[in-house]
Amino acid sequence: MDDNLNKKFNEFKQKGYIEFITFHPSYCYEEFMEGITVHTGNEGETTDSVKYKLKSGIFKTLCKRALGSAIGFNKEEIETKTWENIYEAYLEKSKNQEINFVSAQKYILIIDEINRGDISKIFGELITLLETDKRLGADNELTATLPYSNDIFGVPPNLYIIGTMNTADRSIALIDVALRRRFGFAEMTPDFSILEEEHIEKNKDKLEKSGVYGLLLESKKALEKINSKICDEKSIGRDKQIGHSFLFHIETPSELIMAWHNEILPLLEEYCYSDYKKINKILFTKEEDSKWIKKKEGIVGFENIEELNSFLEKINALG
C-alpha cells in the first residue's frame, strides 16, 4: 500500500471512520449487529451471579457513528449515547429540515473474505435495509425492529460497505444472490506495474546490492507469461491468475527462491490438481518432464540462484 494511503487509512481508523472485519463460517448476527453477552464481573472480582447484557456489534456501532455525525453530534456525544437516543434525535431533526447526508462524514466498513460467512445468518433483516433507496432519508426509507433491543433501526446513507472476496477459492460459495445485487463489483486483477514501480524500482539500489534486482524483473515477466497461459487454460481460468503480492517484499535471492518453490509453484500445482504435464505445459509449452517439474517427483525446485535464473530464462524465452 502507498505510504500516504496507509497513513490516511490508519488516521481514519483511529478516528473511528473505518472499521475492518473478516468473515468466517462461525461469524454470526450477534457479533455483526447485536446480541446478548454474559457478564460475570470484572477481572479479579469473585461473584456467584451471572448478568446478561445487550452488546452492539460492529455494524450497529458504525451506523450509530455515521448517523450521529450526520445530525451534528461530536465523537464524545456519539460514544455516550445509545442508538435509540441518536435515532430519536434524527427523527426530531428531520421534521424541521432535510439532513444533508451527502456532506456528512463518510464511514466505511471493510469486510474481508465476505463470501466466507453465512450471509443470511450474519445480515438477517439488514439485507433489505442496505439498498440505496431504503436508507435513512431516502424516498423509500425503510426501518426494522431489532430482535434483541427492539430498537427501530435503519442504515444511514453515509455508511459504505466494501467487501473483498477471492474468486479463485471454489471451496466456498461466491456470494449470496440476495446480497450480490446490492453491491457493485470491481475486479482486481494482478497489477505487475505496481510491483515494478512500488518495490523493484523504488528499492533498486538495495535490491542490486543483494543481487536480486534483475531476478525480480525476470520473475515479474515470468508471472505475466504464466498468467496469460492460465487465462487461456479452460480448466483453470482468469480467476486464478497469480498475484503480484508474492514478490512484493522479496529483498534477497534466498527469499525469491522460497517464494517460487514454496508458494508460487505449489499454488500452480493446486490449480492443476497435481497434473505435472499440465504444469510443464503452462510453464514451458511442453508436457514432458522439465528439470524442475517431474511427474514422479513433483516440484523439484532449485538448488541455488543459478537454477532459478535458468528456470526464469526458459519461461521468458518462450512465447
pLDDT band at residue 44 using 50, 70 and 90 as cut-offs: low
pLDDT digits (tens, 9 = 90+) for 149-160: 999 999 999 999
Cα torsion 302, 303, 305, 311: sign: negative
SS3 content of the chain, % helix, strand, coil (to 5): 50, 10, 40
DSSP assignment of 116-149, as one string? GS-HHHHHTTHHHHTSGGGSTTSTT---EE-TTT
**pLDDT mean over 272-295:** 93
d(CA 305, CA 216) in angstroms, rounded, equals 12
pLDDT band at residue 42 using 50, 70 and 90 as cut-offs: low
Backbone φ and ψ for 228, nearest 5 degrees, come out as: -60, -40
Buried b (16+ CB within 10 A) or exposed e, 5-22: eeeebeebeeebbbbebe
Report for 37-46, 213-222, 233-242: range of highest mean pLDDT: 213-222
Q: Give residue 182's pLDDT.
A: 86
Q: Give residue 62's pLDDT.
A: 98
d(CA 267, CA 260) in angstroms, rounded, equals 10
Q: Give residue 170's pLDDT.
A: 61
**pLDDT mean over 201-225:** 97
DSSP code of residue 243: P
pLDDT at 140 over 80: yes
Which is more confident, 307 or 166? 307
pLDDT band at residue 273 using 50, 70 and 90 as cut-offs: very high
Is residue 157 within 8 A of residue 69, CB to CB? The reply is no
Q: Give residue 2's pLDDT.
A: 67
pLDDT at 144 over 60: yes
Q: Give residue 245's pLDDT.
A: 94
> Taking all residues of the chain, what is their mean pLDDT, rounded to a whole number?
91
**Strand pairing report for 34-39 and 51-56:** antiparallel
In a 3-state reduction of DSSP, which class is residue 21?
strand
pLDDT digits (tens, 9 = 90+) for 105-136: 999 999 999 989 988 899 988 899 999 999 99
Q: What pTM, to 2 d.p., does this model score?
A: 0.86
- Residue 162: beta bridge partners? 110
d(CA 246, CA 237) in angstroms, rounded, equals 19
Q: What is the 3-state secondary structure (H, E, C) of 74-105?
A: CHHHHHHCCHHHHHHHHHHHHHHCCCCCCCCC
d(CA 74, CA 71) in angstroms, rounded, equals 9
d(CA 238, CA 251) in angstroms, rounded, equals 29
**pLDDT mean over 250-273:** 96
User: Which of 18-22, 62-66, 113-117 has the lowest average pLDDT?
Assistant: 113-117
Q: How many residues does the chain have?
A: 319
Cα torsion 156, 157, 161, 167: sign: positive
